[in-house]
Structure 1
Amino acid sequence: MRLNEVTYNDAKPVEGYGPGFFRIGGEVFQGAVLTGPDGTQIWDGYDAPEALLALAGRIDVLFMGTGAEIAHIPTGLRTQLEEAGVGVEVMASPAAARTYNVLLSEGRRIALAMLPV
């Protein structure tokens, strides 16, 4: 069997998570986070769409982690993102983190916004 080393270009993978935190690229972040082509930052959640809208034209898909369980995101936020041309995939944060890591390793143009579990 041949093993291949996974590389992630400029963005960092999600390495772990737990109650109220995420570990991304070797750093621990408390609370909600946004990670993608510009690095990782604390995200103020659904009431702060500006950082998400700034990704328009730079990514193909934004994965939205809704916490421990899958939930709907606010309709107004989804509408804003779709009108800006940002594709949105909503799932529970653990699934969003795994999906993000796989597509990141493929060199896809993606970002990830997650609420803590």
Structure 2
Amino acid sequence: MKLHADPSDVQMVTAYGPGWITINKQEHKGNLLVGSTGFLRPWNCANFESLTAEHFAELAQLNAELIIFGSGSKLRFVHPSWLQPLMQKRIGLETMDTHAACRTYNVLAGEGRIVIAALMLE
């Protein structure tokens, strides 16, 4: 009996470490947006301190069910007002450290959810 979705057709995080992440066995450096439907691109922000409301407005345009925000090596939250564009579109956002975000993204993507991980790498 098969209990889990087959992630072979889904973009998955296959490894991560300080300053790098591997998506489907391809290494990337720098902050990254990765989606279960094949969406993958650099996230144009230098570090957590350089994030602005516009970065989260950009996420709202991606039309995911859920955004997993990996805030770096430790759990950090952005100003709640920055999340208004997501709330207006009824897109959930979960904040966690980046390693937890990678694991959570894989579980949700493997279940067939339309999820995007916004990952801060340090």
TM-score, normalised on structure 1?
0.82
Aligned-residue RMSD, C-alpha? 2.3
- The reply to whether residue 65 of structure 1 matches residue 70 of structure 2 is yes
Bigger CA drift: 87-96 or 22-31?
Answer: 22-31
Counterpart of 1:55 (choices 44, 59, 62) is 62
After superposition, the Cα gap between the structure-2 partners of 1:81 and 1:9, relative to the gap in structure 1 and judged at 3 Å, is farther
The amino acid of 1:111's aligned partner reads I
SS of the equivalent of 1:95 reads: helix
Counterpart contact for 2:68–2:95, Cα < 8 Å: yes
The residue aligned with 2:41 is 41
Matched residues, percent identical?
Answer: 27
TM-score, normalised on structure 2?
0.79
Counterpart contact for 1:65–1:113, Cα < 8 Å: yes
Q: Which runs of 5+ in 1 are unaligned?
A: none
Q: Which runs of 5+ in 2 are unaligned?
A: 46-50
The residue aligned with 1:20 is 19
Deviation of 1:76 after TM superposition, in Å, equals 3.4
Q: How far apart, in 2, do the equivalents of 1:43 and 1:7 lie?
A: 28
Counterpart of 2:93 (choices 88, 100, 106) is 88
Counterpart contact for 1:14–1:23, Cα < 8 Å: yes
Q: How many residues align?
A: 114
Counterpart contact for 1:55–1:86, Cα < 8 Å: no
After superposition, the Cα gap between the structure-2 partners of 1:34 and 1:15, relative to the gap in structure 1 and judged at 3 Å, is same
Q: How far apart, in 2, do the equivalents of 1:83 and 1:41 lie?
A: 24
Q: How far apart, in 2, do the equivalents of 1:54 and 1:6 lie?
A: 27
The amino acid of 1:99's aligned partner reads T
